[in-house]
Structure 1
């Protein structure tokens, strides 16, 4: 486990931050893959599966991040987020709808009084390659329009070049621009090359003030994977033991089936602990997952698959 050096001292210079991050224990990559694979074989009984499906629905960040997004599409997504199955009002709402900053106001209006949060990607998503002033403007606009959650991307080029202080300082600045909105920091783990880098980026983001650490933008392959998520769950668990502060985790990209979602819930419970089995600390970034969760839920309650055409395509 890392030392108890306070975060301001850790980030006093790039040299001190580098020494801290490279002093973290190394990740056993083979062990991480094997443990994730072993946990994926856990069976879930019918009653527990029904509870897991509802929990997974409540953890979904229903997402549309395409250049062709329109206000109409966002309004339709908002309706589905609040009432995923109009024929069954016992289905819980999702956690949030995630959109580009220019569509935040549309989502906020559509989701008023539903309890569903509005999240927005910011900071030159998905590349993260823009001046800090532009990133902060992006963030402030989304918050001013009503976003209660901001998903920022780190500058992977700076991170991979070893300029950890630049990445740290940008997260601190964006956190300040959030003005109370929760900050999810996207690591884009598919570009970080090694599990050691995933661990370092996780700890850097948490010390800089992240409320969540998120695997990916969904625009780079590979996106979320169980072994990478395991490394991040270990990081939030150990960070909590060290500081007393709980940070959430959000795998995003490539999570499409109920089986996938339940495997992630098992991973959360076994690695971080039951406290993280809550939408306040674990989210699933997805666009197509919700329909499969609804299909499997209907099958458990009626014994019949509704079929994919029964639900809207997002």
Structure 2
């Protein structure tokens, strides 16, 4: 089946779900705008409340290890070099040389042209190679270029693709265009998993976050992701809560499982634990696994390692006890 034929098949399945014989922008608009609106005050109040939950020491030990295992250890700078990517991969393989029992992160996330370097460095360790694609972070490129970007990254060894949606098209109400692009990128991924980045800081409203979440899942996303990390605000608890509600409700509707990845601005263990509490309370403990929840981060790992050392030894180590990314 060609990429185009496969995308048409996704469109047909979406039409079946919406109860229409032909998927059009009008039917998508009606469906997305028919989703329940988000109570902004209630959402923010609930997120704030979940963020104040206390965690006992034994649970904290488990949560820190879980958070480490959920990290997509990331470098996405124009100045990235093969050496920097190899260094990041080495850290992923051995996060804490003083404790071999330390969990490994889920993935190393790089630009597509660095995917082969990361794949070679990680070998058969089981750590995934995630590559950003589709003209990340702007998404401003032709469909042909975006698909080539994706296939190149997969061919280089990426087994996860992080794509960005066309926010201009979405905010203009061209939902079918966004849907078709996600569906075609999903097919271009082959066996690689697709994370769809909504860049929630540019979506303006919580209602748009909900609509973009459902649109992405309808088009075949394996994960929905908050941000590129290049726009502020990036990940926030209220936005993540909305996305977790979406994947929970999507599972009830379709029985399909979609993961969630907040990215950008999550730097401390305290922040990470707030997110894990929110995952547990909103989507359920089944999502407390790297297969269903990830953190997109570069500096979070170091703080988690320091907190883990403190719990293990009773003493807090300085920042020079972990490598600088």
Query: Same fold by TM (over 0.5)?
Result: yes
SS in 2 for 1:6: helix
In the alignment, the residues of structure 1 paired with residue 39 and residue 109 of structure 2 have an alpha-carbon distance, to the nearest angstrom, of 34
For 1:116-166, what per-residue CA distance to the aligned partner results, in whole angstroms no more than 9, with x for missing partners?
000000000000010000000000000001100000000000000000000
Aligned pair in 2 of structure 1 residues 11, 292: CA closer, same or farther (>3 Å)? farther
Aligned pair in 2 of structure 1 residues 199, 10: CA closer, same or farther (>3 Å)? farther
Contact 1:11 1:165 in 2 (8 A): no
Contact 2:40 2:206 in 1 (8 A): yes
Distance apart, 1:115 and its partner CA: 1.1
Mapping of 1:282-293 within 5 angstroms? Answer: 282-293=293-304
Distance apart, 1:313 and its partner CA: 1.2
Which residue is 1:246 aligned to?
257
Contact 1:10 1:16 in 2 (8 A): no
Which residue is 1:77 aligned to?
88
In the alignment, the residues of structure 1 paired with residue 168 and residue 302 of structure 2 have an alpha-carbon distance, to the nearest angstrom, of 36
Aligned pair in 2 of structure 1 residues 136, 258: CA closer, same or farther (>3 Å)? same
Given the alignment of the two structures, is residue 303 of structure 1 paired with residue 299 of structure 2, yes or no?
no
Contact 1:10 1:20 in 2 (8 A): no
In the alignment, the residues of structure 2 paired with residue 38 and residue 313 of structure 1 have an alpha-carbon distance, to the nearest angstrom, of 33
Distance apart, 1:183 and its partner CA: 0.1
Q: Identify unmatched segments of 5+ residues in structure 2.
A: 1-13
SS in 2 for 1:61: strand
In the alignment, the residues of structure 1 paired with residue 184 and residue 90 of structure 2 have an alpha-carbon distance, to the nearest angstrom, of 34
Contact 1:184 1:213 in 2 (8 A): yes
Contact 1:11 1:17 in 2 (8 A): no
Q: TM-score, normalised by structure 1?
A: 0.98
How many pairs are equivalent? 312
Distance apart, 1:7 and its partner CA: 5.3
Which residue is 2:45 aligned to?
34
Which residue is 2:27 aligned to?
16
Distance apart, 1:9 and its partner CA: 3.6
Q: Identify unmatched segments of 5+ residues in structure 1.
A: none
Return the match for 2:76 from 65, 68, 76: 65
Aligned pair in 2 of structure 1 residues 87, 11: CA closer, same or farther (>3 Å)? farther
Which residue is 2:187 aligned to?
176
Q: TM-score, normalised by structure 2?
A: 0.94
Given the alignment of the two structures, is residue 48 of structure 1 paired with residue 59 of structure 2, yes or no?
yes
For 1:71-100, what per-residue CA distance to the aligned partner results, in whole angstroms no more than 9, with x for missing partners?
000000001011100121010110000000
Return the match for 1:269 from 280, 292, 297: 280
Off by >3 Å, runs of 4+ in structure 1:
7-11
Aligned pair in 2 of structure 1 residues 122, 7: CA closer, same or farther (>3 Å)? farther
Aligned pair in 2 of structure 1 residues 11, 166: CA closer, same or farther (>3 Å)? farther
In the alignment, the residues of structure 1 paired with residue 58 and residue 91 of structure 2 have an alpha-carbon distance, to the nearest angstrom, of 25
Given the alignment of the two structures, is residue 97 of structure 1 paired with residue 108 of structure 2, yes or no?
yes
Given the alignment of the two structures, is residue 161 of structure 1 paired with residue 172 of structure 2, yes or no?
yes
Contact 1:239 1:245 in 2 (8 A): yes
SS in 1 for 2:180: helix
Which residue is 2:7 aligned to?
none
Distance apart, 1:113 and its partner CA: 1.9
Aligned pair in 2 of structure 1 residues 112, 239: CA closer, same or farther (>3 Å)? same
Which residue is 2:233 aligned to?
222
Which residue is 1:132 aligned to?
143
